Structure 1
């Protein structure tokens, strides 16, 4: 791993690293915040953050203000990029497919399949790297925003016992039923809609192997609320399955990082209780 940024932050260090991903077949960057407790030699829990469409690792580490709360609770923050990158990585016109729009799945269709394996990267390769390279324990939590909220919910639901807690801001809860997801899934996974359901949180809750409580914050002034996010679908699915869900509709908030920054402290406290 090559460290390419190193900045003091709330008594700890906000770093950015570049590394070669064997899963994705390209170089990847990730933000790693080491709180001041990391200097004591203890193995600390890790919160993985998955960002949304068009983002890199920079959006979260520069806009969310999460480091303050991670320092208070002694939690390492890991924020990977949102897709594979590089000249030989397939791309598409528009912001919602290709680079910056990996959707945290394993693509099966050409030309995406060789590199677009963000699910395997986040679930396997990334934590193995983090736990080997940093003073990180195997106590993990996962969270994210929009496309990354979708990723966090799906990954937690599909991997019982791997994460102590999960939360999401403005997640795409039912990608198989909204335009963003339909476009991406058709390209990455093909036309078999049954194959899409393995990456749809509303479909996964019924068969979830554990009842890990879901914490979801959603702004009621979000411009994508009805066409793309539709949190009521997750509420209905959880009610039908008896799956614990705390869905908080936040009045006046939109889809931006102003929303995330307003509630990230509460989310990190939620994870800290589970990670203790």
Structure 2
């Protein structure tokens, strides 16, 4: 691996690394924030999954999360949102291909060779983190928009792996909205039964673990009605008896101004769960 950035931040260090991913067949960049407590022993890890068009840079430069991670002694890990490189398939538009991995394992060509973000986030990335930084092995997961979808589905599909899960403005029902339908059809094919494996509204009905879901959603989000539709997850959770705290925040949009306003509460939530 190669360390690309090393910056002092709230008594700790904001690093960015590049490493080889066998799962994705390319090099990946990952932001890692080490709080000051990491100098004295292993710390729990919060994995952050970003949204469409993002890289590892969006969260580490815009969310203001390092301040709260330093207070609670939490390592923050923010990977890129898709495989990258000249050999990696891409498409026109921002919602498919590079920057739009959707945290699934693609099964259709030309995507299947590299687009295996689910396996990367669930297995390869934590193994890399725990081998290279002072991580305790205690994990939580969160994300925004496409990354909120990723955080929810990964937590629901992997009981016992994460102590807590939260999301900002997640795509909760990708099978029912344009962003998800476009990506799922390209990556997985037209069989909608296959799509259910990556749809939070479908997964809560059969979740083996009732891990509480914490979601903040901006009331002035420009994508609220046509792409995010949190009421669909709320109905699914009510039907399944799955705990959900869905907070609609009036006036807030889809941006990192929204995330930075509430990230402190999310990190405190995860810190309590990871004690």
Give the 3-state SS of the residue equivalent to 2:239 in structure 1. helix
Q: CA deviation at 1:43?
A: 1.1
Q: What is the count of residue pairs matched by the alignment? A: 275
Q: Distance in 1 between matches of 2:33 and 2:248?
A: 29
Q: Distance in 2 between matches of 1:39 and 1:156?
A: 29
The equivalent of 2:146 in structure 1 is 147
Gaps in structure 2 of 5+ consecutive residues: none
The equivalent of 1:7 in structure 2 is 7
Give the 3-state SS of the residue equivalent to 2:45 in structure 1. strand
The equivalent of 1:27 in structure 2 is 27
The equivalent of 2:258 in structure 1 is 259
Give the 3-state SS of the residue equivalent to 1:120 in structure 2. helix
Q: CA deviation at 1:205?
A: 0.1
Q: Distance in 1 between matches of 2:162 and 2:137?
A: 9
Q: Distance in 2 between matches of 1:212 and 1:260?
A: 22
Q: Distance in 1 between matches of 2:214 and 2:137?
A: 21
Q: Distance in 1 between matches of 2:27 and 2:130?
A: 19
CA RMSD of aligned residues (A): 0.3
Give the 3-state SS of the residue equivalent to 2:32 in structure 1. strand
Give the 3-state SS of the residue equivalent to 2:17 in structure 1. strand
Q: CA deviation at 1:138?
A: 1.1
Q: Distance in 2 between matches of 1:137 and 1:103?
A: 27
Q: Distance in 1 between matches of 2:227 and 2:219?
A: 13
The equivalent of 1:85 in structure 2 is 84
Runs (4+) of structure 1 exceeding 6 A deviation are none
**TM-score normalised to the size of structure 2?**
1.00
Task: String of CA shifts for 1:174-224, please: whole Å, max 9, x gaps.
Answer: 000000000000000000000000000000001001000000000010000
Within a 5 Å distance, the mapping from 1:53-92 to structure 2 comes to: 53-92=52-91
The equivalent of 1:161 in structure 2 is 160
